[in-house]
Structure 1
Amino acid sequence: MTSLPLMDNLLLFGMVGSTAYGLAGPGSDVDRLGVYAAPTVAFHGLTPPTGRDATVVSHTPDTTIHEAAKAATLMLGGNPTVNEILWLPDELYEVRTPLGDEMIGIRSAFLSAKQTRDSYFGYAKSQLKRLVDTGQFQSKMRKRQAKHGRHLLRLLDQGFALYATGQLPIRVENPQRYIDFGEAVAADPAAARPALAEAEARFDSVRSVLPAEPDRAAVEAWLLRVRRAHLDPA
Protein backbone atom coordinates (compact mmCIF):
# COMPACT_ATOMS: atom_id res chain seq x y z
CA MET A 1 0.00 0.00 0.00
CA THR A 2 1.18 3.52 -0.74
CA SER A 3 -0.36 5.20 2.31
CA LEU A 4 -0.47 3.50 5.67
CA PRO A 5 -2.95 5.98 7.22
CA LEU A 6 -5.38 5.11 4.45
CA MET A 7 -5.61 1.58 5.82
CA ASP A 8 -7.34 2.94 8.92
CA ASN A 9 -10.09 4.43 6.75
CA LEU A 10 -10.80 1.43 4.53
CA LEU A 11 -14.47 0.48 4.28
CA LEU A 12 -14.13 -2.39 1.82
CA PHE A 13 -11.09 -4.09 0.36
CA GLY A 14 -10.75 -7.35 -1.52
CA MET A 15 -9.33 -9.38 -4.38
CA VAL A 16 -10.86 -8.73 -7.79
CA GLY A 17 -9.95 -9.41 -11.40
CA SER A 18 -8.89 -12.79 -12.75
CA THR A 19 -8.48 -14.26 -9.27
CA ALA A 20 -12.09 -13.44 -8.43
CA TYR A 21 -13.40 -14.65 -11.79
CA GLY A 22 -11.61 -17.99 -11.56
CA LEU A 23 -9.58 -17.17 -14.68
CA ALA A 24 -6.17 -16.62 -13.07
CA GLY A 25 -3.25 -18.51 -14.54
CA PRO A 26 0.21 -19.26 -13.10
CA GLY A 27 1.55 -15.83 -14.07
CA SER A 28 -1.54 -13.77 -13.29
CA ASP A 29 -1.32 -10.74 -11.04
CA VAL A 30 -3.52 -10.51 -7.97
CA ASP A 31 -5.55 -7.31 -8.26
CA ARG A 32 -7.14 -5.62 -5.27
CA LEU A 33 -9.85 -2.99 -5.11
CA GLY A 34 -11.05 -0.94 -2.18
CA VAL A 35 -13.23 1.89 -0.93
CA TYR A 36 -11.98 4.28 1.73
CA ALA A 37 -13.40 7.28 3.58
CA ALA A 38 -11.36 10.45 3.64
CA PRO A 39 -11.63 12.42 6.89
CA THR A 40 -14.67 14.69 6.52
CA VAL A 41 -12.57 17.74 7.38
CA ALA A 42 -10.50 17.08 4.24
CA PHE A 43 -13.44 18.34 2.17
CA HIS A 44 -13.39 21.73 3.92
CA GLY A 45 -10.02 22.90 2.62
CA LEU A 46 -8.76 24.20 -0.69
CA THR A 47 -7.88 20.80 -2.15
CA PRO A 48 -10.62 18.28 -1.32
CA PRO A 49 -10.01 14.69 -2.44
CA THR A 50 -11.90 14.68 -5.74
CA GLY A 51 -11.17 13.41 -9.23
CA ARG A 52 -7.78 11.77 -9.55
CA ASP A 53 -6.87 12.86 -6.04
CA ALA A 54 -9.66 10.63 -4.71
CA THR A 55 -8.02 7.45 -6.00
CA VAL A 56 -4.90 5.78 -4.61
CA VAL A 57 -3.09 3.40 -6.95
CA SER A 58 -0.22 1.09 -6.11
CA HIS A 59 1.54 -1.49 -8.26
CA THR A 60 3.25 -3.43 -5.50
CA PRO A 61 0.85 -5.25 -5.50
CA ASP A 62 -1.68 -3.94 -8.04
CA THR A 63 -4.18 -2.03 -5.91
CA THR A 64 -6.78 0.66 -6.56
CA ILE A 65 -8.69 2.35 -3.73
CA HIS A 66 -11.39 4.96 -4.38
CA GLU A 67 -12.70 7.49 -1.89
CA ALA A 68 -16.29 6.74 -0.90
CA ALA A 69 -17.91 9.54 -2.92
CA LYS A 70 -15.89 8.73 -6.03
CA ALA A 71 -16.61 5.02 -5.69
CA ALA A 72 -20.33 5.73 -5.34
CA THR A 73 -20.29 8.03 -8.38
CA LEU A 74 -18.50 5.42 -10.49
CA MET A 75 -20.97 2.74 -9.39
CA LEU A 76 -23.95 4.98 -10.20
CA GLY A 77 -22.38 5.41 -13.63
CA GLY A 78 -22.35 1.63 -14.07
CA ASN A 79 -18.58 1.16 -13.96
CA PRO A 80 -18.19 -2.64 -14.25
CA THR A 81 -14.80 -2.78 -12.55
CA VAL A 82 -15.65 -0.71 -9.47
CA ASN A 83 -19.04 -2.40 -9.14
CA GLU A 84 -17.34 -5.73 -8.42
CA ILE A 85 -16.35 -4.76 -4.88
CA LEU A 86 -20.02 -4.98 -3.82
CA TRP A 87 -20.54 -8.51 -5.16
CA LEU A 88 -17.46 -10.50 -4.15
CA PRO A 89 -17.74 -13.92 -2.53
CA ASP A 90 -17.19 -13.55 1.22
CA GLU A 91 -13.78 -15.21 1.17
CA LEU A 92 -12.34 -12.59 -1.19
CA TYR A 93 -12.94 -9.66 1.16
CA GLU A 94 -9.87 -8.71 3.19
CA VAL A 95 -11.48 -5.70 4.87
CA ARG A 96 -15.22 -5.43 5.47
CA THR A 97 -16.35 -2.82 7.99
CA PRO A 98 -19.89 -2.04 9.18
CA LEU A 99 -20.12 0.89 6.76
CA GLY A 100 -18.74 -1.37 4.04
CA ASP A 101 -21.45 -3.90 4.87
CA GLU A 102 -24.01 -1.12 4.58
CA MET A 103 -22.69 -0.30 1.13
CA ILE A 104 -23.02 -3.94 0.11
CA GLY A 105 -26.52 -3.93 1.59
CA ILE A 106 -27.62 -1.14 -0.78
CA ARG A 107 -25.75 -2.43 -3.85
CA SER A 108 -28.97 -2.63 -5.86
CA ALA A 109 -29.49 1.10 -5.26
CA PHE A 110 -26.59 1.85 -7.60
CA LEU A 111 -28.18 -0.01 -10.52
CA SER A 112 -30.45 0.96 -13.39
CA ALA A 113 -31.44 -1.02 -16.47
CA LYS A 114 -30.19 1.23 -19.27
CA GLN A 115 -26.97 2.13 -17.47
CA THR A 116 -26.17 -1.53 -16.81
CA ARG A 117 -26.73 -2.52 -20.42
CA ASP A 118 -24.85 0.48 -21.79
CA SER A 119 -21.93 -0.04 -19.41
CA TYR A 120 -21.33 -3.77 -19.76
CA PHE A 121 -22.30 -4.13 -23.41
CA GLY A 122 -20.62 -0.84 -24.28
CA TYR A 123 -17.42 -1.81 -22.49
CA ALA A 124 -17.39 -5.14 -24.34
CA LYS A 125 -17.81 -3.32 -27.66
CA SER A 126 -14.88 -1.07 -26.80
CA GLN A 127 -12.81 -4.16 -26.04
CA LEU A 128 -13.70 -5.57 -29.46
CA LYS A 129 -12.74 -2.29 -31.12
CA ARG A 130 -9.37 -2.40 -29.41
CA LEU A 131 -8.83 -5.94 -30.60
CA VAL A 132 -9.83 -5.24 -34.20
CA ASP A 133 -8.02 -1.90 -34.45
CA THR A 134 -4.84 -3.43 -33.08
CA GLY A 135 -5.02 -6.31 -35.53
CA GLN A 136 -2.70 -9.25 -35.16
CA PHE A 137 -0.38 -8.77 -32.23
CA GLN A 138 3.14 -10.05 -32.40
CA SER A 139 3.54 -13.47 -30.84
CA LYS A 140 4.81 -11.98 -27.60
CA MET A 141 1.59 -9.93 -27.37
CA ARG A 142 -0.73 -12.88 -27.98
CA LYS A 143 -1.17 -13.43 -24.25
CA ARG A 144 -2.48 -9.89 -23.81
CA GLN A 145 -4.89 -10.23 -26.72
CA ALA A 146 -6.22 -13.52 -25.32
CA LYS A 147 -6.79 -11.77 -22.00
CA HIS A 148 -8.82 -9.05 -23.70
CA GLY A 149 -10.89 -11.75 -25.39
CA ARG A 150 -11.60 -13.54 -22.11
CA HIS A 151 -12.70 -10.36 -20.43
CA LEU A 152 -14.87 -9.32 -23.36
CA LEU A 153 -16.88 -12.53 -23.04
CA ARG A 154 -17.02 -12.21 -19.26
CA LEU A 155 -18.38 -8.67 -19.49
CA LEU A 156 -21.11 -9.81 -21.85
CA ASP A 157 -22.13 -12.69 -19.57
CA GLN A 158 -21.93 -10.75 -16.32
CA GLY A 159 -23.72 -7.74 -17.76
CA PHE A 160 -26.58 -9.83 -19.06
CA ALA A 161 -26.94 -11.69 -15.75
CA LEU A 162 -27.07 -8.40 -13.84
CA TYR A 163 -29.52 -6.90 -16.34
CA ALA A 164 -31.81 -9.93 -16.35
CA THR A 165 -31.67 -11.03 -12.69
CA GLY A 166 -30.38 -8.09 -10.65
CA GLN A 167 -27.51 -10.27 -9.38
CA LEU A 168 -23.89 -10.04 -10.47
CA PRO A 169 -22.05 -13.39 -10.61
CA ILE A 170 -18.35 -12.84 -10.06
CA ARG A 171 -16.88 -16.31 -10.49
CA VAL A 172 -17.50 -17.73 -13.95
CA GLU A 173 -19.15 -21.15 -14.25
CA ASN A 174 -16.98 -22.62 -17.00
CA PRO A 175 -13.48 -21.08 -17.03
CA GLN A 176 -12.36 -23.20 -19.98
CA ARG A 177 -15.02 -21.59 -22.19
CA TYR A 178 -13.46 -18.18 -21.58
CA ILE A 179 -9.93 -19.48 -22.03
CA ASP A 180 -10.85 -21.09 -25.36
CA PHE A 181 -12.63 -17.94 -26.50
CA GLY A 182 -9.61 -15.83 -25.61
CA GLU A 183 -7.33 -18.05 -27.66
CA ALA A 184 -9.70 -17.90 -30.63
CA VAL A 185 -9.78 -14.11 -30.43
CA ALA A 186 -5.99 -13.96 -30.14
CA ALA A 187 -5.79 -15.85 -33.42
CA ASP A 188 -8.48 -13.74 -35.11
CA PRO A 189 -10.01 -10.70 -33.35
CA ALA A 190 -13.04 -10.85 -35.63
CA ALA A 191 -13.97 -14.12 -33.93
CA ALA A 192 -15.43 -11.99 -31.14
CA ARG A 193 -18.12 -10.45 -33.36
CA PRO A 194 -20.62 -13.35 -33.16
CA ALA A 195 -20.44 -13.32 -29.35
CA LEU A 196 -21.22 -9.62 -29.35
CA ALA A 197 -24.17 -10.08 -31.70
CA GLU A 198 -25.48 -12.98 -29.62
CA ALA A 199 -25.21 -10.93 -26.44
CA GLU A 200 -27.10 -8.03 -28.02
CA ALA A 201 -29.90 -10.42 -28.98
CA ARG A 202 -30.01 -11.76 -25.42
CA PHE A 203 -30.32 -8.27 -23.98
CA ASP A 204 -33.12 -7.53 -26.45
CA SER A 205 -34.96 -10.74 -25.52
CA VAL A 206 -35.60 -9.94 -21.84
CA ARG A 207 -37.17 -7.22 -19.77
CA SER A 208 -34.71 -6.12 -17.11
CA VAL A 209 -35.63 -6.49 -13.45
CA LEU A 210 -33.62 -3.35 -12.73
CA PRO A 211 -35.32 0.02 -12.24
CA ALA A 212 -35.21 2.82 -14.77
CA GLU A 213 -33.14 4.95 -12.40
CA PRO A 214 -30.80 4.18 -9.48
CA ASP A 215 -31.90 4.97 -5.93
CA ARG A 216 -29.71 8.02 -5.46
CA ALA A 217 -31.44 8.92 -2.18
CA ALA A 218 -30.31 5.63 -0.60
CA VAL A 219 -26.76 6.16 -1.84
CA GLU A 220 -26.74 9.74 -0.57
CA ALA A 221 -27.98 8.64 2.85
CA TRP A 222 -25.19 6.06 3.06
CA LEU A 223 -22.55 8.62 2.08
CA LEU A 224 -23.78 11.04 4.74
CA ARG A 225 -23.44 8.27 7.34
CA VAL A 226 -19.87 7.80 6.18
CA ARG A 227 -19.17 11.50 6.54
CA ARG A 228 -20.66 11.59 10.06
CA ALA A 229 -18.61 8.58 11.09
CA HIS A 230 -15.37 10.23 9.90
CA LEU A 231 -16.01 13.69 11.27
CA ASP A 232 -13.21 14.72 13.63
CA PRO A 233 -14.88 15.60 16.99
CA ALA A 234 -12.23 18.27 17.49
Structure 2
Amino acid sequence: MHVLLSGIVGSTAYGLAHAGSDLDRLGLFAAPTVAFHGLHRPAESHVTTAPDRTLHEAAKWCRLALGGNPTATELVWLPEELYETRTPLGEELIGLRQSFLSAPAARNSYLGYAGQQFRKLAARDRTDDSGRARAAKHARHLVRLVHQGVTLHETGRIEIRLPDPERVRALGERYADRPEEAAALLADAEARFDRPGVLPAAPDERPAEAWLRRVRTAHLPTA
Protein backbone atom coordinates (compact mmCIF):
# COMPACT_ATOMS: atom_id res chain seq x y z
CA MET A 1 0.00 0.00 0.00
CA HIS A 2 1.54 3.28 -1.15
CA VAL A 3 0.02 6.38 0.45
CA LEU A 4 -0.07 9.17 -2.15
CA LEU A 5 -1.77 11.94 -0.18
CA SER A 6 -2.92 12.28 3.41
CA GLY A 7 -3.70 14.97 5.91
CA ILE A 8 -5.60 16.07 8.99
CA VAL A 9 -9.30 16.65 8.39
CA GLY A 10 -12.43 17.11 10.48
CA SER A 11 -12.84 19.63 13.27
CA THR A 12 -9.13 20.52 13.30
CA ALA A 13 -9.25 21.44 9.62
CA TYR A 14 -12.49 23.39 10.03
CA GLY A 15 -11.16 25.38 12.98
CA LEU A 16 -13.77 23.87 15.32
CA ALA A 17 -11.52 21.62 17.43
CA HIS A 18 -11.54 21.89 21.21
CA ALA A 19 -9.44 20.29 23.93
CA GLY A 20 -11.26 16.95 23.74
CA SER A 21 -11.57 16.71 19.96
CA ASP A 22 -10.32 13.65 18.12
CA LEU A 23 -7.62 14.07 15.50
CA ASP A 24 -8.99 12.67 12.24
CA ARG A 25 -6.82 11.73 9.28
CA LEU A 26 -7.83 11.03 5.68
CA GLY A 27 -5.75 9.83 2.78
CA LEU A 28 -5.62 7.88 -0.43
CA PHE A 29 -3.31 5.08 -1.50
CA ALA A 30 -2.40 3.09 -4.58
CA ALA A 31 -2.71 -0.66 -4.40
CA PRO A 32 -0.03 -2.55 -6.38
CA THR A 33 -1.24 -2.75 -9.98
CA VAL A 34 -0.75 -6.51 -10.15
CA ALA A 35 -3.22 -6.88 -7.26
CA PHE A 36 -6.02 -6.10 -9.73
CA HIS A 37 -5.09 -9.04 -11.97
CA GLY A 38 -6.19 -11.90 -9.72
CA LEU A 39 -9.47 -13.37 -8.57
CA HIS A 40 -9.94 -10.94 -5.71
CA ARG A 41 -9.63 -7.18 -5.96
CA PRO A 42 -7.64 -5.37 -3.28
CA ALA A 43 -9.41 -3.67 -0.39
CA GLU A 44 -10.78 -0.28 -1.40
CA SER A 45 -10.54 1.30 2.06
CA HIS A 46 -8.62 0.87 5.29
CA VAL A 47 -10.13 2.38 8.45
CA THR A 48 -8.43 2.41 11.84
CA THR A 49 -9.16 3.90 15.25
CA ALA A 50 -6.56 5.10 17.73
CA PRO A 51 -5.42 6.78 15.57
CA ASP A 52 -8.55 7.66 13.61
CA ARG A 53 -7.53 7.27 9.99
CA THR A 54 -9.37 6.47 6.76
CA LEU A 55 -7.48 5.60 3.59
CA HIS A 56 -9.25 5.07 0.25
CA GLU A 57 -7.72 3.34 -2.75
CA ALA A 58 -7.07 5.82 -5.55
CA ALA A 59 -9.91 4.66 -7.82
CA LYS A 60 -12.45 4.63 -5.00
CA TRP A 61 -11.41 8.11 -3.90
CA CYS A 62 -11.90 9.38 -7.45
CA ARG A 63 -15.37 7.87 -7.64
CA LEU A 64 -16.30 9.44 -4.30
CA ALA A 65 -14.98 12.84 -5.37
CA LEU A 66 -16.69 12.72 -8.76
CA GLY A 67 -19.92 11.98 -6.90
CA GLY A 68 -19.44 15.06 -4.74
CA ASN A 69 -18.75 13.30 -1.43
CA PRO A 70 -17.77 16.20 0.88
CA THR A 71 -15.67 14.14 3.28
CA ALA A 72 -13.52 12.59 0.56
CA THR A 73 -13.27 15.74 -1.56
CA GLU A 74 -11.90 17.91 1.23
CA LEU A 75 -8.61 15.99 1.06
CA VAL A 76 -7.52 17.98 -2.00
CA TRP A 77 -8.65 21.34 -0.55
CA LEU A 78 -6.84 21.28 2.81
CA PRO A 79 -4.73 24.19 4.06
CA GLU A 80 -1.10 23.52 3.18
CA GLU A 81 0.04 22.94 6.76
CA LEU A 82 -2.41 20.08 7.31
CA TYR A 83 -0.91 17.72 4.73
CA GLU A 84 1.23 14.96 6.24
CA THR A 85 1.99 12.96 3.07
CA ARG A 86 2.18 14.70 -0.29
CA THR A 87 3.84 12.70 -3.08
CA PRO A 88 4.24 13.92 -6.68
CA LEU A 89 1.13 11.96 -7.71
CA GLY A 90 -0.74 13.43 -4.75
CA GLU A 91 0.38 16.88 -5.82
CA GLU A 92 -0.94 16.19 -9.32
CA LEU A 93 -4.31 15.25 -7.87
CA ILE A 94 -4.55 18.53 -5.96
CA GLY A 95 -3.95 20.27 -9.27
CA LEU A 96 -6.92 18.43 -10.80
CA ARG A 97 -9.38 19.19 -8.01
CA GLN A 98 -11.60 21.55 -10.02
CA SER A 99 -12.35 18.82 -12.56
CA PHE A 100 -14.13 16.71 -9.93
CA LEU A 101 -16.74 19.39 -9.16
CA SER A 102 -20.27 19.71 -10.54
CA ALA A 103 -23.37 21.69 -9.63
CA PRO A 104 -25.79 18.76 -9.15
CA ALA A 105 -23.33 16.81 -6.99
CA ALA A 106 -22.58 19.86 -4.83
CA ARG A 107 -26.26 20.52 -4.23
CA ASN A 108 -27.19 16.90 -3.58
CA SER A 109 -24.24 16.22 -1.30
CA TYR A 110 -24.04 19.35 0.82
CA LEU A 111 -27.76 19.98 1.15
CA GLY A 112 -28.37 16.25 1.53
CA TYR A 113 -25.88 15.87 4.38
CA ALA A 114 -27.09 19.11 5.98
CA GLY A 115 -30.64 17.78 5.87
CA GLN A 116 -29.50 14.58 7.58
CA GLN A 117 -27.92 16.60 10.36
CA PHE A 118 -31.10 18.64 10.76
CA ARG A 119 -33.20 15.49 11.12
CA LYS A 120 -30.77 14.07 13.70
CA LEU A 121 -30.81 17.38 15.54
CA ALA A 122 -34.61 17.51 15.61
CA ALA A 123 -34.88 13.90 16.83
CA ARG A 124 -32.14 14.10 19.46
CA ASP A 125 -33.18 13.69 23.11
CA ARG A 126 -31.69 16.74 24.85
CA THR A 127 -32.84 15.96 28.38
CA ASP A 128 -29.32 15.16 29.57
CA ASP A 129 -25.87 16.69 28.99
CA SER A 130 -24.79 13.95 26.62
CA GLY A 131 -27.85 14.33 24.42
CA ARG A 132 -27.55 18.07 24.28
CA ALA A 133 -23.84 17.86 23.40
CA ARG A 134 -24.69 15.54 20.51
CA ALA A 135 -27.43 17.93 19.39
CA ALA A 136 -24.96 20.82 19.36
CA LYS A 137 -22.55 18.71 17.31
CA HIS A 138 -25.25 17.93 14.74
CA ALA A 139 -26.06 21.64 14.60
CA ARG A 140 -22.42 22.62 14.03
CA HIS A 141 -22.15 20.10 11.21
CA LEU A 142 -25.33 21.50 9.69
CA VAL A 143 -24.05 25.09 9.77
CA ARG A 144 -20.65 24.05 8.37
CA LEU A 145 -22.14 22.02 5.51
CA VAL A 146 -24.48 24.84 4.54
CA HIS A 147 -21.65 27.36 4.52
CA GLN A 148 -19.28 25.13 2.57
CA GLY A 149 -21.93 24.06 0.08
CA VAL A 150 -23.18 27.56 -0.69
CA THR A 151 -19.61 28.85 -0.95
CA LEU A 152 -18.77 26.06 -3.39
CA HIS A 153 -21.88 26.76 -5.47
CA GLU A 154 -21.18 30.49 -5.66
CA THR A 155 -17.37 30.54 -5.94
CA GLY A 156 -16.31 27.12 -7.24
CA ARG A 157 -14.04 26.54 -4.26
CA ILE A 158 -14.31 24.41 -1.14
CA GLU A 159 -13.50 26.45 1.94
CA ILE A 160 -12.22 23.99 4.53
CA ARG A 161 -11.08 26.43 7.24
CA LEU A 162 -14.20 28.26 8.34
CA PRO A 163 -13.84 32.06 8.38
CA ASP A 164 -15.82 32.48 11.64
CA PRO A 165 -15.65 29.35 13.83
CA GLU A 166 -17.09 31.21 16.82
CA ARG A 167 -20.27 31.97 14.86
CA VAL A 168 -20.60 28.29 13.98
CA ARG A 169 -20.18 27.31 17.63
CA ALA A 170 -22.72 29.92 18.73
CA LEU A 171 -25.27 28.78 16.18
CA GLY A 172 -24.62 25.18 17.23
CA GLU A 173 -25.58 26.04 20.81
CA ARG A 174 -28.60 28.05 19.68
CA TYR A 175 -29.95 25.37 17.38
CA ALA A 176 -29.32 22.68 19.99
CA ASP A 177 -31.89 24.46 22.17
CA ARG A 178 -34.21 25.53 19.33
CA PRO A 179 -33.84 23.07 16.42
CA GLU A 180 -36.77 24.59 14.55
CA GLU A 181 -34.73 27.76 13.93
CA ALA A 182 -32.24 25.78 11.82
CA ALA A 183 -34.99 25.21 9.24
CA ALA A 184 -34.59 28.83 8.08
CA LEU A 185 -30.86 28.27 7.49
CA LEU A 186 -31.62 25.27 5.28
CA ALA A 187 -34.33 27.14 3.40
CA ASP A 188 -31.97 30.03 2.69
CA ALA A 189 -29.31 27.60 1.43
CA GLU A 190 -31.82 25.94 -0.90
CA ALA A 191 -32.83 29.35 -2.26
CA ARG A 192 -29.20 30.24 -2.96
CA PHE A 193 -28.63 26.91 -4.68
CA ASP A 194 -31.67 27.66 -6.85
CA ARG A 195 -29.86 30.69 -8.25
CA PRO A 196 -27.24 30.18 -10.98
CA GLY A 197 -23.81 29.20 -9.69
CA VAL A 198 -20.37 28.80 -11.23
CA LEU A 199 -20.00 25.00 -11.29
CA PRO A 200 -20.40 22.90 -14.47
CA ALA A 201 -23.37 20.64 -15.04
CA ALA A 202 -21.17 17.54 -14.80
CA PRO A 203 -17.65 16.73 -13.62
CA ASP A 204 -14.88 16.14 -16.14
CA GLU A 205 -13.82 12.52 -15.71
CA ARG A 206 -10.97 12.67 -18.24
CA PRO A 207 -8.29 14.12 -15.92
CA ALA A 208 -9.13 11.57 -13.22
CA GLU A 209 -8.95 8.72 -15.74
CA ALA A 210 -5.57 9.90 -17.04
CA TRP A 211 -4.26 10.35 -13.50
CA LEU A 212 -5.37 6.85 -12.48
CA ARG A 213 -3.55 5.40 -15.49
CA ARG A 214 -0.38 7.17 -14.36
CA VAL A 215 -0.90 5.76 -10.87
CA ARG A 216 -1.26 2.23 -12.22
CA THR A 217 1.81 2.59 -14.42
CA ALA A 218 3.86 3.93 -11.52
CA HIS A 219 2.96 0.91 -9.38
CA LEU A 220 3.76 -1.85 -11.84
CA PRO A 221 6.60 -4.20 -10.87
CA THR A 222 9.95 -3.07 -12.24
CA ALA A 223 11.37 -6.59 -12.58
TM-score computed with the length of structure 1 as normaliser: 0.92
Runs (5+) with no aligned partner, structure 1: 1-5
Q: How does 1:62-77 map to 2 (within 5 A)?
A: 62-77=52-67
Distance between the aligned counterparts of 1:151 and 1:96, measured in 2?
27
CA shift, 1:233, in A, is 2.3
CA shift, 1:135, in A, is 4.4
CA shift, 1:188, in A, is 2.6
Runs (5+) with no aligned partner, structure 2: none
- Counterpart contact for 1:136–1:188, Cα < 8 Å: no
Distance between the aligned counterparts of 2:132 and 2:216, measured in 1?
46
CA shift, 1:193, in A, is 0.7
1:208 is aligned to 2:201: no
Q: How does 1:1-234 map to 2 (within 5 A)?
A: 6=1, 9-49=2-42, 53-136=43-126, 138-205=128-195, 207-234=196-223
Distance between the aligned counterparts of 1:154 and 1:137, measured in 2?
25
- Counterpart contact for 1:135–1:189, Cα < 8 Å: no
Rate the CA distance shift 1:114–1:35 in 2: closer, same or farther, 3 A: same
The alignment partner of 1:35 has SS state of strand
Distance between the aligned counterparts of 1:138 and 1:72, measured in 2?
41
Alignment coverage as a number of residue pairs: 223
Between stretches 132-141 and 151-160, larger displacement belongs to 132-141
CA shift, 1:47, in A, is 1.3
The alignment partner of 1:63 has SS state of strand
Distance between the aligned counterparts of 1:78 and 1:161, measured in 2?
14
CA shift, 1:137, in A, is 5.4
Write the letter of the residue equivalent to 1:91. E
Write the letter of the residue equivalent to 2:12. T
CA shift, 1:145, in A, is 1.6
Distance between the aligned counterparts of 1:48 and 1:91, measured in 2?
34
Distance between the aligned counterparts of 1:134 and 1:83, measured in 2?
28
TM-score computed with the length of structure 2 as normaliser: 0.96
Distance between the aligned counterparts of 2:61 and 2:126, measured in 1?
36
